[in-house]
A and B are shown apart, each in its own frame.
Chain A
């Protein structure tokens, strides 16, 4: 069941060096379930902050962040951790993986939090690695993988527990064009075939073109929303 994301009057302010920095300013936003969104905007426009709020990694100072039926403000720290484990997959920019673990062990990490036996965890980790085209890299350590392969492992880990929401922060920021395109195609496939709701932060207009909709933020406020589907059709 695709999960929708709703933000109402969301405000987030950081205090740095005695200075108050309002990163999100009374933001209202509705994102439909099963849609691939790209979040764009200049540095400091609040893209990553918005992603962190939706993923329950940070709290809004005011307003409501609702993912599916859950208002994240109602959850305590421990509940939020459990909610993340069950509902969200994360892909960060570079250095996504734990360097001491193999590709399969990295993918198995979130599965440790699910009620699965060791053999079930192994089978699931292998299955998702095959899904992202890395079935032959199970035992490779991150340092033995290329940047693109590392991001694919990170995506495999993000979908290992079958969450409905995938959050990606500049997932192709460190990759060359061809590798970036293959990662973006993979995300697009996950959205189209598995109906994941994807929210991806990017500076790259070409990366954003893979999304269904592009949301522009500027100084913590909502800018225009472009619909790539309309453009494609």
Chain B
């Protein structure tokens, strides 16, 4: 095979080749970032723990449940632990400094969520101190917070003080890292009791109940009967509940924001088409410009298969150069974007799976776009090709 000709054809038109490679690189990087974001969204569903259930009001996620439900749920056969989970809705400095905060039961939290590992400070220190909090590694990096720092937050759900804008203060006692992708590292957890005391003392206002209960199942317990039993327990009120698996809860939570993964993947699909047309256009132009060259090569005795392979290989070489560059670009962009994107898509990561899928798709498109001029070359009659002006 005249591989040297392939190389010379590529470098013979450096501007066109470079622009095509760059367009493929940018498109692949975009595709990988979109795919990583979509995977990040669905990771919370795909990797949700199998032994956790979420109990919420049957009316809405935004309707509180009574605190009296906790001991009753704990009595249900198959339930290991019950954990309160209360959305706080606070922001740091101003509304742009928003991140997720939850009031939880500090004595059970670590046992229910073993996928959180402390990388700085100690969970026990957090558990001992009523006004303490534990924060994700990403959040700590984003704001430069470290163990011992005080974080002031103003809550829209639990306004504090006469004016309603007095800050709540939390002392960072531990920083966690998620051992699995289903959990983001941009969240703060604090004592539910700290919140409760403030409400009882009249220092703050807000809903008196609890947002959701997280139920940890006993080993070997099946989810369906436990869910049915909890729902049946409150069938006659005062507040009916809906119990779901954690995966289903996450799926419903995400669907409230619309089908973002589908939207992202649709954009990714459009990007793929852009790559396809860019390479196809380049290869068709290259094939047409070389009609006479192809005629000469046919006259010299090169077979249809050899010339077809040459054009496909040329398209593939362009795509591989672009894909390689795009993969590097995606990795670089991914590492820069990870702290920000993982706040809403905790599984976000430009990893081997994302890159592999992107590279595979672009290579397939390279083959297809190389096939068009290759077929044309195969059908080319040498006598007609030799009549063409170069």
A residues whose Cβ falls under 8 Å from a Cβ of B: 52, 55, 57-58, 77-78, 81-86, 90, 92, 95-101, 105, 109-110, 112-113, 157
Q: Shortest CB–CB separation between residue A45 and chain B, in angstroms?
A: 17
Q: Mark B263-307, 1 if CB is under 8 A from A, else 0.
A: 000000000000000000000000000001100111111111000
A78 to B304, CA, bound (A): 8
**A-chain residues with CB within 8 Å of residue B303 when the two chains form the complex:** 78, 81-82
18 intermolecular pairs with C-beta atoms under 8 Å apart: A52-B383, A78-B303, A82-B301, A84-B301, A85-B300, A85-B302, A90-B299, A95-B292, A95-B390, A98-B293, A98-B296, A99-B12, A99-B293, A100-B8, A105-B4, A105-B5, A109-B2, A113-B300
Residues on the B chain within 8 Å of A58, using CB: 381-383
Give min CB distance, B77 to chain A, whole Å: 77
Residue from B5, B299, B300, B302 in contact with A101 in the complex, judged by beta carbons closer than 8 Å:
B5
Q: Please, which residue of chain A has its CB at the minimum distance from the CB of B382?
A: A57
Residues of B within 8 A of A95 (CB): 292, 389-390
**Is B229 engaged at the interface, CB distance under 8 Å to the other chain?**
no
Extra inter-chain contacts (10) besides given A100-B12, A109-B5, A109-B300, CB under 8 Å = A57-B299, A57-B386, A85-B302, A98-B296, A98-B297, A99-B12, A99-B293, A105-B5, A113-B301, A113-B302
Chain B residues near A105 (CB-CB < 8 A): 4-5, 8
B-chain residues with CB within 8 Å of residue A85 when the two chains form the complex: 300-302
CA of A98 to CA of B12, assembled, Å: 11
Report the minimum CB–CB distance from A72 to chain B (whole Å).
Answer: 14
Smallest beta-carbon distance B290→chain A, Å = 8
Interface string of B160-200 (1 = CB under 8 A from A): 00000000000000000000000000000000000000000
A81/B296 in contact, CB under 8 A? no
Interface: B141 (CB within 8 A): no
The docked-state distance in angstroms from the alpha carbon of A58 to that of B386 is 12
User: Contact between B4 and A84 (Cβ–Cβ < 8 Å)?
Assistant: no
Residue B9 CB within 8 A of the other chain = yes
Per-position binary interface string of chain B over residues 352-390, scored 1 when its CB falls under 8 Å from any chain A CB and 0 otherwise: 000000000000000000000000000001110010011
Residue of B nearest to A82 (CB): B301
Residues of A within 8 A of B8 (CB): 100-101, 105
Q: Which residue of B lies closest to A49 (CB)?
A: B383
B1, closest chain A residue (CB) = A112
Which of A55, A83, A96, A112 is the one whose CB lies under 8 Å from B296? A96
Q: Which residue of A55, A77, A86 is within 8 Å of B299 (Cβ)?
A: A55
Please, which residues of chain A bring their CB within 8 A of the CB of B4?
101, 105
In the complex, chain B residues whose CB is within 8 Å of the CB of A113: 300-302
Q: Are A100 and B5 in contact (CB under 8 A)?
A: yes
Q: Which residues of B contact A90 (CB under 8 A)?
A: 296, 299-300
